[in-house]
Structure 1
Amino acid sequence: MWPPHPCVCHLQIQGQELSGPSEATKNSLRKIMGDHLDLLMGVVLMASPVFGISSCSLDGRIALYRFCNLTQVPQILNTTDSLLLSFNYIRTITATSFPFLEQLQLLELGTQFTPLTIDREAFRNLPNLRILDLGKSQIDFLHPDAFQGLSHLFELRLFSCGLSDAVLKDGYFRNLKSLTRLDLSINQIGSLYLHLSFQELNSLKSIDLSLNQIFTVCESDLKPLQGKTLSFFSLAHNNLYSKVPVDWQKCMNPFRNMVLETLDVSGNGWTVDIAGNFSNAISGSQTFSLVLAHHIMGSGFGFHNIKDPDQNTFAGLARSSVTRLDLSHGFIFSLSSRLFETLKDLNVLNLAHNKINKIANEAFYGLSNLQILNMSYNLLGELYNSNFYGLPNIAYVDLRKNHIGIIQDQTFKFLEKLNTLDLRDNALKTIYFIPSIPNIFLGGNKLVILPNISLTANFIQLSENKLEKLDDLYFLLQVPHLQILILNQNRFSSCSRNQSHTLPENLSLEQLFLGENMLQLAWEAGLCWDVFKGLSHLQVLYLNNNYLNFLPPGVFSDLTALRGLSLNSNRLTVLSPGDLPANLEILDVSRNQLLSPDPKLFASLSVLDITHNKFVCACELTSFINWLNQTSVTIFGSPADIYCTYPNSFFGASLYSISTEGCDEEEVLKSLRFALFILFTVTLTLFFMTVLIVTKFRGFCFICYKTAQRLVFKDHSQRTEPDAYKYDAYLCFSSKDFEWVQNALLKHLDTQYSEQNRFNLCFEERDFVPGENHIANIQDAVWSSRKIVCLVSRHFLRDGWCLEAFSYAQSRCLSDLSSVLIMVVVGSLSQYQLMKHQSIRGFVQKWQYLRWPEDLQDVGWFLNKLSEQILKKEKEKKKGNNIELQTVATIS
């Protein structure tokens, strides 16, 4: 198991007497929570079906009938020893309500939702009843003989039942010879005049009358209790003696001839005068523990019209043998001189949660037996050498949550039996004043560096300070007899120690807490890798939240006794062989970034927490997954917290659900190599075959493509749509190229050559008007056609009319703001030959042009592209003063 948290260590070190609450505290909590306890239990039991427990059932011994809408007691087996009937609607309890239940010891009837009537001898059929709980049930009628016949009743709970004074003065508790605990808190009792039958209750030890309306208690009221010893008597939160004036001469000592182990009179609004009068009144009565918490004594911070207690306030307690005094939760500002002088037997003094700012000289004079002093949660700013004079046997001083910034160096030096000093959550910047004592708490201060002082301790707590240099850690590791060192939440990140110096071996340190620091900054600089050298007896080490992304080689090599190591919430991605101590039993590496841990590292462990890491669920993780499913090591956390983060297809999947089949490395590699070879070969072969086929038979491929296209679209060839143009295109070429143009273009495009063709073309030999001016014919052809196709050949460049037509086509482009001119270069004309002609040079420099294919099998594809360009409608766009035309890809 993990060692206790530092806070738990604190409680253990203080000892059993300090760690557990006093009986007065327990009863105060019980009183305050009484209103809510049954309700809370009821809520839990309402949810009990979730856990497989029925809320209306009996099993022979326990009959559970909470929240069952009962209006009367159900049939119960005579073997039942616990009957729980709270949270129902039972209205009346009579002598016949219960069958004879000889074995019943616990009856719970509290928190009925309707007013309750309890008749005479209502529980006579329950002769061995030990605990009767009627708490939080509004009792409209309670017969004086209601509890008769309960000779074995040990505890009677009547809190918050709306009871009046009559329950005490009319003998309701007669003949309850075994009654030990009586709870009458939170009722409407205004007078404490007790019936003489209380004198017969020889077993009575605890009476709780808190949270009633008892304004005064005098000697005559409690006369039936004289001669008795009570472990607990509470009159808390009654406004006792604070609402009405009291004539103490007539009232006298209410606890005369009584022994009270704990008397709780807290929360009654007592001033110094009331507390002094009460102390004088009970003088001589044995009261071992007096609880005066939640008082209004003291001037507080800035109020001078209310008195702080003085040496006369508690003088009357001189003969009361008070060993515990609780003055917490008040407004005491100053502890006056010899304030507690008469309390010679006092062992525990609680002054927590006041406003104490000043401690006068000899304030604790006379407390020679005091062992525990609690002054936490006050307003102390400075402590002086004389503050704690007169405390020769003090063992524990609690000064938490003050504002202490200055302490004189001799303040604690003369407290020879001081065992524990708690100075947490103050404003200390140095510790020159610290004596050599076993247990020191200095967390939550402002310590930046530790002075080189002589120090001896078993336990040191320095968490939540501002320590930066690991040199201070080396200093603390040399403190003699140190067993537990807590340094969480500091800033350890630098080191200036000369690492050539040999560290002495520490044979006492067993637990070291270094969580929530910044050791990574020092270690990544190559410094202080020997910080754990010589700690051969260290058993527990916390290094959580230190930003660690690696562990220095051999950093744990000297930790031969280490059993528990916490590395959680760091940035470790890998753990290497030799990183962990050989005898480690408990390891916490949760919330790191481990990808594929080696299970051999965990061979010595009995408990492992490896949750919330970033596991890569690939075949490299096979050995760890197999180990995880077979190991006898206790894996901390839920299986759902050990999950994959990569690849995305496995994100969030538990490692316990991942199959490792197919991860045999050799077989997988062999199959993978063969599969890759086949895939590469087939892909390469197909690629080359495709390239070869397309290269050699691209014409045939294009014919097949067009045929398939006609079949799919049912031969709906693209026709030109009627528009304002007379011709689809004007073919401008040299008359010397007519035969070639006719065979290459006209037969495949012009509708007059074949009904299968799609274009109405214009060319000179057929469509120019004879006798008309040639320039006029050219202009008419250019402006009457959607597109102008110029077939530029060697003859074209020598033909003046063709060049003139080219110029008119360019003019048309500028006029229409569209690219209507399609230039097709025929033959082996070079760029230089084209650029020699000014009109063509301007076009070539700005626009792309087509080139007639040299290979015959590309002609079909070329004609198709040319047709698409003729059919293509141009959009007019203006961009500045330039005209942007749709370009045509060059065919090479």
Structure 2
Amino acid sequence: MLHFQPPKDVTASHCICLFSLSRSEVDVKLLTMTLKIAMPGKQSGSTFSQLRLFLSFLMYCWGLADPACGYFLKNCTIRGNLSDNFNLKVLCYNRNLEVMPINIPCKVSVLDVAMNNISKIGKLDFKGLSNLKILNMSINQISQVDDGSLRSLKALRELNLAHNRLTTLSDHLFQGLASLSLLHLDNNLITTIGSSSFQLLSSLKTVNLTKNNLHNMKEVQPIVQLPHLQELYIGSNRFTSFQSQEISNTSIELRLLDLSRNPLGVFRITTDVLPYLEVLDIAYCGQLGHMEWDVLDRSFLRNVKSLNLSGIEMSLERMAMVLQTVNSSLVHLRLYDISEERVKALIDFACNIPTLSLLRLHHNNISALSEEFLQSCKQVTEVDLENNNIIQLSEVSFRSMEQLSTLRLGHNRLSSVPDATRNISTLMLLDLSFNIIHKLGCSDFSNLTGLTQLFLFHNQISNLPGCVFQDLKDLRILKLGSNKILTLNDDFMSGLHKLEFLSMSYNKLSSISKGDFKGLASLKTLLLFDNQIASLEDGAFEGLVNLTELRLQSNKITQIDIRNTVLTGLPHLRTLDISCNYITYVNDDKLDPPPLSHLTSLENLLIFSQRHKGLCHLPINFLEGLKSLLSFQAGSLNIKDLHPDTFIHTPRLWFLDISKNEFTALTPKLFHPTPSLNRLYLPKARLQSLDFLIGANLSRVTFLQVRKNDITVVNETVLQSLPALTYLDMQDNPFTCGCSDAWFVQWMESNNQTQVAGAGELTCNYPEDLKGNKLLDVELQFCTVDLGLYYYISTTCLVLLTLIASFAYHFLKWEVIYGYYLFLAFLYDTKQRNKHKPHGCQYDAFISYNAHDEPWVLRELLPELEGEQGWKLCLHHRDFQPGKPIIDNIMDGIYGSRKTICVISHRYLESEWCSREIQVASFRLFDEQKDVLILVFLEEIPTHQLSPYHRMRKLVKKRTYLSWPRVGEHTAVFWQQLRLALETKDGPAEENPILSGVQAL
């Protein structure tokens, strides 16, 4: 996969699209990009044209590949599929970020950057995120949002900027957010709102401006004018008055208005601007006990169903006026923190509202409920008296409440179940939690025949009489947790035939006996965790034929209690939690019989964190019979090894957690029986390698967590064995940061299927000089070269070169030698061609001859040419400079002479230095186009011996040649011809007669 690096002038915050474009889109984008790169100004010339075509071709080739980049973000986690337009999430919360993360996938629909230190939002931070629907930037330090920075977020529906440091909402801040429906701006420092800030937010339904520094109600006028606004939260600001004419002159569709915790001195409505208002919150408003209530017409608030008057600074008379204003529609009234006396005074006003059904009276320091307290609340169906100091209630406190269905008395100081709660046949939910009830009596819940939910947790109950719940025929949920219950009476459950949920956690139960739950045939969930259970009798859960969830964690259960005779009679059990107990095994031998063999419907088994020494060993057949098991959590058990046959009885296993054990290695055979495994957790397992995954048949694993192990290298084969992997967590491993990890780094940066969690935080442990560095910051590009390909190319070239050299040596030996010296002559000629001596040549002729022909040169040639004719010759033995390289002497001699006379014989043709001399002279003839070469043949030489010199005929067109007369022939003509040849100018001569087959003179 190709990885495209954007140009340096492109802002780093641009998103990188992780999806393929259509061919036409690629063509257009690449053409545009190529023109921008290749044509920054007016250009011309063939070089530029070729460069432009080359760049265009390269960019087009890149475009044909999928332009996807790595499936990870530094300091972020991606949830979902990159091609999913609806569920792709990027989670970057609580990562200590100071700027917006870069390279966000363009198809992201949810982006969470909450709880960081971001201070500014730039114009390009969200460019390209046109699919984003939810953006959470809460709990940062944002004080500046550039105008237009949110313009690209066309599909954004929810924006959360709460808990920042914004002071002003500019006119263009929300430009482009036409789809926005929910906006959180609470807990900022906002003092000013631009007049057109919200003008284009036509879809906005909810705005939260709670806890800012707004003073004037006119600031929110542009908001309330929005056509679809339904909820407006402006509590905890500095508004001193609410007057309808300041927000609108026409009716608006607002359903909820929160004005709580403002120092309102006046609440005035003079026109029907809030006809649809259903929820009004003016809690903790007013100044110094005074707040004016002025609603000109009661019908202006005719649809208010929920009213919060908690902690309001208002006189009783005006509070009564408030209640009278909404007496035609009020359903839910909240009166917190207004004192017991004021509550008692207001109850009659409130309960005279015929539509009132829910009354919440928290934190009023009520200590007792008299007979008259709720006497007028006949129509109320739910009373919430939590968080008071109620000690006693009159027996008839609720007698007049004929429709009471929910009664909440939690967080009070009741020492027993009050008599007032008896005989309320309409009651469906009774909450007595967080009191100091010590014991229960047989008549405590008498005649509560309609009760379906009973909450008694967090009390001091130690005993459960067998008759206590006998009248609760319809009870579905019973919560008895966090008490001091020591034992279970075998018949205390009598009558609870419809009970579905029973919580007895955080008690002091020490054992479960046979028949303790036999009457609970409908029970589905049984919570017994955090007791002191150390003994389970055979048949302890007998009768729980519909039980689906059993929680026994954090007790004192040992392996002795985990046997099939205990866990019997549970045909529908789906979840069993026996974690945090004292179960341990000395070896992994088979158990007889298997302890869980009767739980054929079990889907979730939790056995992690056994205390003392841990489980130590997991018997081979521990899971026998669990053919439906989907999830097995067995972390922190001090297991050092697992038998390869451990999971042969769980073919449907989907989730496996064997983290925090003492494995150093695992075998691939362990996972062969689990082809459906999807999620595998192995953190803190002392693993040194992931090679066990190779051949483990884990083709469906999508999630792998192996953090905090001793893994130093991840090789290609391991990850290829997990073709479906979409999430990999390898944080806190000691990576080597060498070439052995180069492939893994390249894979992280290029693959678009698997997300590597915290990839940017993976650190080096080796070598020492890189310890602590980030793996992705280490330069490993040189390691990614495919050496195999280079080795192949190099070897192939070497073999071909050897073959060619062998062939040339065998068949073209002399041609090769000749060509070699010809090349040397060419090099020297190129070097010397521009050198000219100021006074002409030093010699008339350079004599090239073989040492065996030296007698002829000294006896015949030298006396004639120098003695008789007066020419100045250059001879090896006489004129070469001592100590100078031979080839340099030859070159200087030839180029320092007008002519070169080659005395050719059989010996001459075999001489290496003679060959070089004639080659240099030949090149001078060819390159300078001068007749500088004179060939003198001392012997007759057959044509086949001249074959290496046939190439010379093609290169040198004109040449002079002479033959030394045979013995007995006259030499005068020869010397005359040689003299004429030396006298000729440097122009081209006739073609060489010997090479053309013409007899010389």
| TM-score (norm. length: structure 2) | 0.54
1:154-191 Cα distance to aligned partner (Å, 9 max, x none)? 32121221476987998896521222322222335685
Q: Does 1:591 align with 2:708?
A: yes
Distance 1:77 1:409, change over 3 A: closer
Deviates more, 1:544-553 or 1:202-211: 202-211
1:3-62 Cα distance to aligned partner (Å, 9 max, x none)? 9xxxxxxxxxxxxxxxxxxxxxxxxxxxxxxxxxxxxx9984764648976552253678
Q: Does 1:605 align with 2:729?
A: no
Distance 1:407 1:668, change over 3 A: same
Partners of 1:42 and 1:213 in 2: CA distance: 39
Instruction: Give how far 1:226 is off.
Output: 4.4
Q: Does 1:661 align with 2:661?
A: no
Q: Which residue of 1 aligns with 2:650?
A: 535
Distance 1:598 1:126, change over 3 A: farther
Superposed, 1:861-872 pairs within 5 Å as none
SS of equivalent residue, structure 1 residue 334: coil
Q: How many residues align?
A: 605
Q: Which residue of 2 aligns with 1:154?
A: 278
Q: Does 1:237 align with 2:347?
A: no
**Residues 643, 655 of structure 1: 8 Å contact kept:** yes
Q: Does 1:183 align with 2:295?
A: no
Specify which of 53, 56, 61 is matched with residue 168 of structure 2. 56
Q: Which residue of 1 aligns with 2:354?
A: 227
Specify which of 423, 444, 454 is matched with residue 554 of structure 2. 444
What amino acid maps onto 1:152 in structure 2?
Y
Specify which of 502, 527, 547 is matched with residue 662 of structure 2. 547
Instruction: Give how far 1:606 is off.
Output: 2.1
**Residues 314, 342 of structure 1: 8 Å contact kept:** no
Instruction: Give how far 1:240 is off.
Output: 3.8
Deviates more, 1:193-202 or 1:618-627: 193-202
Partners of 1:561 and 1:125 in 2: CA distance: 65
Specify which of 281, 288, 301 is matched with residue 405 of structure 2. 288
Q: Which residue of 1 aligns with 2:237?
A: 112
Partners of 1:96 and 1:252 in 2: CA distance: 40
1:550-585 Cα distance to aligned partner (Å, 9 max, x none)? 114511111121111111111111224324634333
Instruction: Give how far 1:322 is off.
Output: 1.2
Partners of 1:411 and 1:447 in 2: CA distance: 17
What amino acid maps onto 1:659 in structure 2?
L
Q: Does 1:279 align with 2:398?
A: yes
What amino acid maps onto 1:135 in structure 2?
S
Q: Which residue of 2 aligns with 1:783?
A: none
Instruction: Give how far 1:235 is off.
Output: 1.5
SS of equivalent residue, structure 2 residue 285: coil
Specify which of 518, 526, 529 is matched with residue 421 of structure 1. 526
Q: Does 1:309 align with 2:427?
A: no
Q: Does 1:572 align with 2:697?
A: no
Deviates more, 1:73-82 or 1:142-151: 73-82
Superposed, 1:486-525 pairs within 5 Å as 486-490=606-610, 492-495=614-617, 506-520=626-640, 523=642
What amino acid maps onto 1:221 in structure 2?
D
Distance 1:479 1:59, change over 3 A: same
Partners of 2:349 and 2:460 in 1: CA distance: 36
Specify which of 580, 588, 605 is matched with residue 485 of structure 1. 605
Instruction: Give how far 1:459 is off.
Output: 0.7
Q: Does 1:265 align with 2:385?
A: yes
**Residues 609, 637 of structure 1: 8 Å contact kept:** yes
Q: Which residue of 1 aligns with 2:506?
A: 401
Instruction: Give how far 1:514 is off.
Output: 0.5
What amino acid maps onto 2:360 in structure 1?
S
Distance 1:135 1:142, change over 3 A: same
1:451-490 Cα distance to aligned partner (Å, 9 max, x none)? 4224222110111111112668952365221110011111
Distance 1:153 1:191, change over 3 A: same
Partners of 2:279 and 2:224 in 1: CA distance: 20
Distance 1:504 1:359, change over 3 A: closer
**Residues 279, 313 of structure 1: 8 Å contact kept:** yes
SS of equivalent residue, structure 1 residue 263: strand
Partners of 1:667 and 1:43 in 2: CA distance: 52
Specify which of 673, 677, 683 is matched with residue 562 of structure 1. 677
Partners of 2:743 and 2:681 in 1: CA distance: 24
SS of equivalent residue, structure 2 residue 760: helix
Q: Does 1:463 align with 2:579?
A: yes
Specify which of 633, 639, 643 is matched with residue 753 of structure 2. 633
Instruction: Give how far 1:347 is off.
Output: 0.6
SS of equivalent residue, structure 2 residue 536: coil
Superposed, 1:613-632 pairs within 5 Å as 613-632=733-752
1:269-291 Cα distance to aligned partner (Å, 9 max, x none)? 222334x34233x342x122211
Instruction: Give how far 1:217 is off.
Output: 3.8
Partners of 2:346 and 2:223 in 1: CA distance: 43
Partners of 2:294 and 2:339 in 1: CA distance: 15
Partners of 2:518 and 2:218 in 1: CA distance: 69
**Residues 234, 263 of structure 1: 8 Å contact kept:** yes
What amino acid maps onto 2:752 in structure 1?
S
**Residues 199, 225 of structure 1: 8 Å contact kept:** no
SS of equivalent residue, structure 1 residue 182: strand
What amino acid maps onto 1:421 in structure 2?
L
Partners of 1:315 and 1:253 in 2: CA distance: 17
Q: How high is the sequence identity, in percent, across the aligned residues? A: 20
Partners of 1:409 and 1:171 in 2: CA distance: 71
1:231-262 Cα distance to aligned partner (Å, 9 max, x none)? x32112223463xx8563xx672212x142x3
Partners of 1:84 and 1:74 in 2: CA distance: 17
**Residues 97, 122 of structure 1: 8 Å contact kept:** yes
What amino acid maps onto 1:376 in structure 2?
G
Instruction: Give how far 1:138 is off.
Output: 1.9
Q: Which residue of 2 aligns with 1:652?
A: 772
Specify which of 582, 596, 600 is matched with residue 476 of structure 1. 596
Distance 1:656 1:100, change over 3 A: closer
SS of equivalent residue, structure 1 residue 335: coil
Distance 1:147 1:515, change over 3 A: farther
**Pairwise CA RMSD of aligned residues?**
4.1
What amino acid maps onto 2:251 in structure 1?
P
Instruction: Give how far 1:354 is off.
Output: 1.0
Partners of 2:224 and 2:614 in 1: CA distance: 72
SS of equivalent residue, structure 2 residue 646: coil
Partners of 2:220 and 2:698 in 1: CA distance: 72
Instruction: Give how far 1:403 is off.
Output: 1.8
Distance 1:669 1:93, change over 3 A: closer
SS of equivalent residue, structure 1 residue 160: coil
1:826-847 Cα distance to aligned partner (Å, 9 max, x none)? xxxxxxxxxxxxxxxxxxxxxx
Partners of 2:751 and 2:347 in 1: CA distance: 74
Instruction: Give how far 1:327 is off.
Output: 0.7
Q: Which residue of 2 aligns with 1:374?
A: 479
**Residues 733, 762 of structure 2: 8 Å contact kept:** yes
Partners of 1:588 and 1:561 in 2: CA distance: 17
SS of equivalent residue, structure 1 residue 512: strand
1:677-710 Cα distance to aligned partner (Å, 9 max, x none)? xxxxxxxxxxxxxxxxxxxxxxxxxxxxxxxxxx
Instruction: Give how far 1:200 is off.
Output: 6.0
Partners of 2:755 and 2:224 in 1: CA distance: 53
SS of equivalent residue, structure 2 residue 752: coil
Distance 1:492 1:146, change over 3 A: farther
**Residues 86, 112 of structure 1: 8 Å contact kept:** yes
| TM-score (norm. length: structure 1) | 0.61
Distance 1:572 1:199, change over 3 A: same
Partners of 2:294 and 2:421 in 1: CA distance: 32
What amino acid maps onto 1:560 in structure 2?
P
Distance 1:649 1:177, change over 3 A: same
